Chains A and B, each alone.
Chain A
Amino acid sequence: MNNSLNRPVPLGMMPYQGADHFKTTKIRTMLPEVLTKNSEKSINNIASLFDLIPIVDGMTLSFHHHLRNGDAVLNMVAEEIKKRNLKNMTLAPSAIFPIHAPLVELIKNKNVTQIITNYMNGPVADIISQGYMENLVIMDTHGGRPRAIESGELKIDVAFIAVPNSDRLGNGNGIYGKNACGSLGYIIADMKYAKHKVVITDSISKDINPIEIEAKYIDYVIEVDSIGDISGIVSGTTKPTKDPVQLKIAKDTVELIEELGYLKENMSFQTGAGGTSLAVADELKKRMIKKHIKGSFASGGITSYLVQMHENGLFKHLYDVQCFDHEAISSLSRNINHHLMSASKYANPFEIKPMVNDLDVVILGATEIDLDFNVNVTTDSHGKIIGGSGGHADTAYGSKLCIITTNLVKSRTSMIKNHVTTITTPGQTIDCLVTERGIAINPLRVDLLNHLKNTKLNIVPISSLLEKAYQMTGVPNELQKSDHIIGVVRYRDGSIIDSIYLIGDHEL
């Protein structure tokens, strides 16, 4: 069966039918929250916990990724699965990084036979792309994951919650402790709805403030030597790019924001980490200062750059679902208007007022974008998994103005395609594409095109940018996809927007 974007959907799964389809057909389903009955929560080690619950074949275990590439907790649990040779386990971490390479062996040995996550790269993503995973991988969005958990679509047996700062009852936060990682927003749904909840901490203290992880939900607390390596938390670069092409893209992006009337008092804004994103923030900062503009909030993953803008009065509030660097983590303890936010509050489509719906402008990247403005951030152009939506599809949907920034050509490959290899975010929700060779506006946004009729910005059809790119690169051969589906991209409403295919010649 094909969905409305003409992408195949595995049998029995719900096909995507449009970004707004959920509004007309679905109502919010919420399981009752699962409160603990335990008063004695301390457990000596993970092995004891496996015996106590008990954790057996076929269970689903979840994790958060706030420690990013410094996380040790998932690997601790994986080691115990390996020791016990448990089979058919499903793992549901909010993201997987190269540090989780020990999972490769477990996947090959069928200890782990499914992964449900929002993002993955590194060795685990590589072998899944090569077809080693028994069951389909499901790639969710940051907002789709809590929706799936609260509705019971993703049933979690045990949530392992790495908490940098916890008391013995399981109250905790990520702001203090030797492995402070900031917001723990991605695990809040797991904390409320998983059958069993376990805090794994390397720092026990008495007075927890603020309390982000609540003891009323926590069944067990395990103290370990270390939950991770703090140096792995930082995401990408923390300084704006100096690359002239990316700087041009950043300047044109902010010029576009201004021309479209979004550079205004109380504007709200989101961008990611990475050089170009920070260059956009830097350019925006200069113009906000020049025009005496004060924004209402910046949100999402928080970087030191956004902290500086907040501390300089350029954004009144920061809403933080994850911290991208140490400065963002320390800001949580000193700035009262730097707020913790759960993934559900951030982006769950069924929240009454998710934060993404209040966003004026979001700046996003792309691995590929096509003539219909569909964006791929899940696979590379050969179909290998290299990322995932994270909040991409959520913020594109919720924001008033969604801008994709990318070089037109990277590594001798056009970033614009006739059709993207994998659809992560539907073109219906993407408004503009800014490249160094011109700006394309989604023809669906007639209002924006009218607004830009007399602009000096280089506004061009996306097809002419593709032609320009092909002038440089030549026209590549179309990728012949395998018939073997190894995973699906699940849109924020639970429908399947695309499938992910086997690469290489490995067959199960």
Chain B
Amino acid sequence: MRRSLLFIPANSPAMLQNADVFASDSVIFDLEDAVVLSEKDAALSLVNEYLKKFEFDNLEIIIRINGLDTLLSKNELDTIVNDKIDTVMLPKATYETTLQLSKMLEKIEKQKKLTKKIGIIPIIELAKSVIEVNQIASVRGVTGLLLGGEDLATDLEVERTEQGLEILLSRSMVVLAAKANQIDAIDTPYTQTQNDEGLLKDTLFAKSLGMSAKVCIHPNQIETINQVFSPNEDEIAYAEKILNAVSQNMNNHKGAFSVDGKMIDKPIIERAQKLLEKAKKWKL
């Protein structure tokens, strides 16, 4: 259950130091695009030592590794997969590489006797990833799908635009696959870090398509993204009203019932439960 996932370059001590002060639900320590080849080993060592030293409350720790087609990823997984991390983010995921990662993690979990299962967030940023998205979402350990709009546009040989029509279908396919597999649909980052209005518009649009979260490439984007993906006060009050009515009607052994003149059925109750679960988790 996420709203905002903040990218932090793994080779920047100053940014690592402040990774947990913002209100993002997850932080993604990036070993891939943010780090030049000559600094990859130093970045891995830095983030590993950092994670060993510090404790994090209520914050998902994600590591974006390099692609499984590189020589780097195996060493990265061997080094950094431990109980201090929650999730591995896989670039340029396909069904084959996601499955491969799932098996590698399963093996490491057993070898290191981890107390938890490490999750996977595949990045859907190839045309092939989009075509295989439902299979990717069904792989063991996958807890969310991230649409990587920039790389996808490159693969599609189209220009990324503010409107985003070129990735509309892919966005919707990510949403459908995520929902069908009951995992998070995570939207592509909004790359204009100084454009607050554009960020709000893009995030609202993503939400309207069914996205449940969005990655941030700057801490100043977190507040807007959290606001958009958080239930508001009215929604929370209505959900509480529904659940109160459910418990009253259960006591009275009534079947169907209505709240504010609207019939309440199972999907509405489930949605209300989920919404209140979010409100509790995010202390709304």
- State whether the Cβ of A436 lies closer than 8 Å to any Cβ in chain B: yes
Q: B21 is contacted by which of A242, A437, A456, A471 (Cβ under 8 Å)?
A: A437
7 shortest interchain CB distances as A-B pairs: A244-B219, A436-B21, A244-B220, A245-B18, A437-B21, A456-B283, A472-B17
Bound-complex Cα distance A245 to B223 (A): 13
- The distance in angstroms between the C-alpha atoms of A429 and B144, with both chains bound, is 50
Highest count of chain B CB atoms <10 Å: which of A248, A251, A437: A248
For chain A, the count of residues having a C-beta within 8 Å of the partner chain is: 12
Q: Which of A242, A251, A436 contacts B18 (CB 8 A)?
A: A436
**How distant is the Cα of A323 from the Cα of B51 in the complex, in angstroms?**
47
Which residues of B pack against A, CB within 8 Å? 17-18, 21-22, 53-54, 218-220, 223, 283
A249 to chain B, nearest CB (A): 9
Q: Measured between alpha carbons, how far is A437 from B54 in the docked complex, in Å?
A: 14
A-B contact count (CB 8 A): 22
Residues in A whose Cβ lies below 8 Å from that of B54: 471
Contacting residue for A409 out of B17, B53, B220, B283, CB 8 A: B17
Compute how far the CA of A472 lies from the CA of B21 in the bound complex, rounded to whole angstroms: 13
* Chain A facing B: main interface SS: helix
- Give the chain B neighbours of A472 by CB distance below 8 A: 17
CB contacts (< 8 Å) of B223 on chain A: these are: 251
- Using Cβ atoms and an 8 Å threshold, which residues of chain A touch B18? 244-245, 436
How distant is B24 from chain A, measured CB to nearest CB, in Å? Answer: 11
Report chain B residues within 8 Å CB of A281.
none
A244 vs B8: C-alpha distance in the bound complex, in angstroms?
13
Cβ contact within 8 Å between A245 and B283 = no
User: A247 interface residue, CB < 8 Å from B?
Assistant: yes
Q: How far is the CB of A416 from chain B (nearest CB, A)?
A: 15
Using A244-B218, A245-B21, A472-B17 as known contacts, list a sample of 19 further A-B pairs with CB atoms less than 8 Å apart, ordered by residue number in A. A242-B220, A244-B18, A244-B22, A244-B219, A244-B220, A245-B18, A245-B219, A247-B220, A248-B21, A248-B22, A248-B219, A251-B223, A409-B17, A436-B18, A436-B21, A437-B21, A456-B283, A471-B53, A471-B54
Interface CB pairs A-B, < 8 A, 10? A242-B220, A244-B218, A245-B219, A247-B220, A248-B21, A409-B17, A436-B21, A437-B21, A456-B283, A471-B53
User: Measured between C-beta atoms, what is the minimum distance from A298 to chain B in Å?
Assistant: 26
Measured CA separation A247–B221 after assembly (Å): 12
B283 to nearest A CB, angstroms?
6
CA A247 to CA B220, docked complex, whole Å = 8
Q: Which residues of B contact A251 (CB under 8 A)?
A: 223
Please, which residue of chain A has its CB at the minimum distance from the CB of B218?
A244
Q: Chain A residues near B21 (CB, 8 Å)? A: 245, 248, 436-437
Q: What A residues does B219 contact at CB under 8 A?
A: 244-245, 248
* Assembly CA distance A245 to B53 (angstroms): 21
The minimal Cβ–Cβ distance linking B160 to chain A, given in whole angstroms, is 24
Best-buried of B21, B53, B220, B223 by chain A (most CB within 10 Å): B21
Taking CB atoms, residues of chain A closer than 8 Å to B218 are: 244
Within 8 Å CB of B53, what residues of A? 471
* Cα distance, A168 to B253, chains bound together (Å): 97
Measured in the bound complex, the distance between the Cα atoms of B284 and A456 in whole Å is 9
Chain A proximity of B107: nearest CB distance (Å): 33
Docked complex Cα distance between A409 and B22 (Å): 15
